[in-house]
Amino acid sequence: MIYELRIYDINPGKMKVILDRFRDHVIELFNKHNMNITLFWEDLDDSSNRLYYIVEHASMEARNLNYDRFRNDPEWIEVRRLSELDGPLVQKQESIFMKNVPFFKNK
């Protein structure tokens, strides 16, 4: 199992829109494409405009295949189009890939 920490820098004034998009569409679409979000955070400092979440993947190959399917899903394409009519929501996205260490039991 690998874990992907995704960090989004959100454009000013777009935090509510992206949170609504995740709540109403993205989490379900990720599940449809075998991507499980296990943890999700908003930065404590509202002025940072950052979101963080962890996605579990069986392998890097599975991750890449699942994201390709997600990005090409007509439902996602339409959700993204509609939610970004007033401009893009994400300014920058970063992914960090992690794996468990043998001596510590993660929750």
Q: How does pLDDT run across 63-76, given as a tens digit for each residue?
A: 999 999 999 999 99
Residue 107 has pLDDT above 80, yes or no: no
Average pLDDT (67-96) is 97
- Give the 3-state secondary structure of 24-70: HHHHHHHHHCCCEEEEEEECCCHHHCEEEEEEEECCHHHHHHHHHHH
Average pLDDT (2-14) is 97
Collapsed DSSP state (helix, strand, coil) of residue 16: helix
Average pLDDT (10-23) is 96
Distance, in Å, from the CA atom of 45 to the CA atom of 35, rounded to the nearest integer, reads 28
Average pLDDT (68-97) is 97
Residue 3 has pLDDT above 90, yes or no: yes
Distance, in Å, from the CA atom of 36 to the CA atom of 91, rounded to the nearest integer, reads 24
What's residue 106's pLDDT? 84
Domain ranges of the chain: 2-98
* Stated pTM of the model: 0.91
Confidence of residue 7 (pLDDT cuts 50, 70, 90): very high
CATH number listed for the domain at residues 2-98: 3.30.70.100
